[in-house]
Structure formats: structure tokens, C-alpha cells
Amino acid sequence: MNDLQNFKLNRILFFILLVALNFSTTFAKDRLPVVTPNPLPCLGHFHGLDYVYDFCDTCGCGSSGGSMGYGTGLNTNFIGVRYIGQQYRSRDGIFNDSPWVDENFNTMQLWGNFPVSKRTVVNVIVPYQFHSRNFIDGTSQNISGLGDASILAMYNLLKVKSDSIVSIKPEHYVQIGGGIKMPTGAFDKENNEDSVNPSFQLGTGSWDYVVAANYGFNYRNWGISTLVNYAMKTENPKQYQFGNQFNYALNAFKTYYIANNFSMTPILGIAGEVFETNKEYGADVANTKGDLFMGKVSLEASYSRYALGVVSMLPITQNLNNNKVELKNRLSIYLNVNF
């Protein structure tokens, strides 16, 4: 049964990659314009920093937006690669004086937004995970492999108008959408034994569902973006269910036009995540819910249709797993090609 399920998931994943490559090739040949110098380029290019898309299941096995989002209303067409690094520490035991274990969650993603109509874009993320944790006795544990792939469709209720110059009028955009996260990453129940952090996994092992909404406001080269999303998680075949997750974020940015076709965009923001209790065999798992509130500093450099960005997030307040898990920091680096 598991082999059959893995075969079906691999076929789905192959189809996703095929569609993504087909879209990128088609648009590269037929729709990418030759860029000519413009002293005031349009603000409507994609800022990947506005909405970094990643479920963080406290932390790492879902790896597909949470508070780090689901694309942006500013030219949402792109394909790229992204690295996400997260550092945690968790108690090696159930007692308050149990020693701390350092945990590192690393993810490489192939991700992109692909238009399917004038108002609808589809976000696709395919992650590869490589996680490690170091115990007080000098031993370590490492896991690596494909993570949980995800597909999310966003519909533009209100869309920023394309223009060749920076708009002198305030502009708004509103997006709503939903999607699924597929269990393409392995879930190993043994990783949860004697571990305070149940998210040291490559995947949740379950089909999970997401609803999301984005709002943005632009005026000249200034902008504000917000997001909220809610992930509904189901029980996996091993009778384990991660708790549902609510995420929110607020970002403010200003774009500086340094030269023709080159701009720099610093971004300041806040983000939060709220985790509900995990369940095993239908019963609540103790010390698995929590909340996290973070500050964010980001910078994106854009040249022509290329965007290189870095995102740094640090906790302001947190209460994860009854204070038995602590976030140290998150870092993301990405390179996108806009089309």
C-alpha cells in the first residue's frame, strides 16, 4: 500500500515539475520582453521578501509558507530557487532541567508562481530537506530527502495595474486562495520517540489544506503588504496529526532605483505563528502547541527581470511546546527570474 501511495505521489510530483518547466520555457520564449533602459521603472515587480512561503510546523517538516506567505500581488510570475535555514534548540527530555539539543533545519526549494488566467496564479513549491541535531553526549542525527510539495492557487480580487512608471496614485491589491500540501516527504515515527520536538521530520505524512489572503498597498516607491493563512492538517497513516497552524505577517518596504533596471528594496516587518496541539491515535500530545512572534529584516536587489534576496527573522516572544523548544533564528536566501 505504501509503495503504491509513493508511486502515485511521485507521478504527481513529476507532473508538477513538468508543468512548471513548460510554463517557464513558454514564457521565456514568447513573453519575456527585451528590457530597455528606463529611468523610472515600474514598482510592480515581484518582491519575494514580501511573502516568503513556508509552513514551519515548529519547525521544518512541512517546509512548503506560514508567516515567511504565498506570493505577492506585484507581478506574481516567477520561477526560482530558495534556501531556508532555521536554528532551534529543544530539551533532551521532559524535565525543565533536561539538557538542550541544537537542531538545524535546512531546506532547498524549487518554487514559482505561474499564471493560469488574467487574475489567477498558481504557486508551486518542491522542497528538499536536510536536517541535523546534536546531542549533549556528542552524538548527532541527520535526515535528508524530499519534503512535502505544495500547490496553492491565488485569485486577484483587486489587482495592481501594470505601468511603465511609478504610479503617483495609491494602489491596492487583494488576493484570496487555497491549496494543498502533499505527503511527498517521509514521516518517521521513531524520530518522535524521546524527542520534545516532533517536527524533526522530512514531511508530515499527511494531506494538508491551506486557505490564504494577501493585501497590499503601494504609493510611489513605498509599499505595505499583509498576509494571513491557515493550514488544516489531517491524520497521517501512522495515526499522527500535526496541529492546525495560523500565520500572519505585516511588511513595509521602499524601493530605491539605483540605475537603469537596477533597484534595491529594504523591507521591515513582523510575523507570527500559532500552533494547535498535535494528536496521536486521536488523543492530544502534551507540550505540542505554542505561538511565536518575530521581527523581520529583508533586502532584495533586482536587475532587469532577476531578483536576489535575503530574509532574516528573529524571535521577539515565543512559547513553543511549553517552552521546551526555542527558535534561535531563521534565514532565507533566494534567486528568482520574473516573467
- For cell 517538516, the residue is 61
Buried residues in 206-224 as b, exposed as e (16+ CB within 10 A): bebebebbbbbebeebebb
- For cell 498558481, the residue is 122
Cβ neighbours of 35 (radius 10 Å): 12
Mean pLDDT lowest among 55-64, 83-92, 320-329: 55-64
Amino acid present at 263: S
CA dist 273 and 293 (Å) reads: 7
Q: Of 131, 123, 136, 128, give the one whose Cα is nearest residue 51.
A: 123
Q: Of 295, 286, 299, give the one whose Cα is nearest residue 327.
A: 295
The per-residue pLDDT for range 293-329, each reduced to its tens digit, is 999 999 999 999 999 999 999 999 999 998 999 999 9
The per-residue pLDDT for range 26-45, each reduced to its tens digit, is 444 444 333 333 333 333 34
Report the CATH number at residue 58: 2.40.128.130
Mean pLDDT lowest among 78-87, 162-171, 221-230, 313-322: 162-171
| Alpha carbon 115 to chain centroid, angstroms | 19
pLDDT at 169: 82
Number of domains the chain is built from: 1
Domain that holds residue 87: 2-338
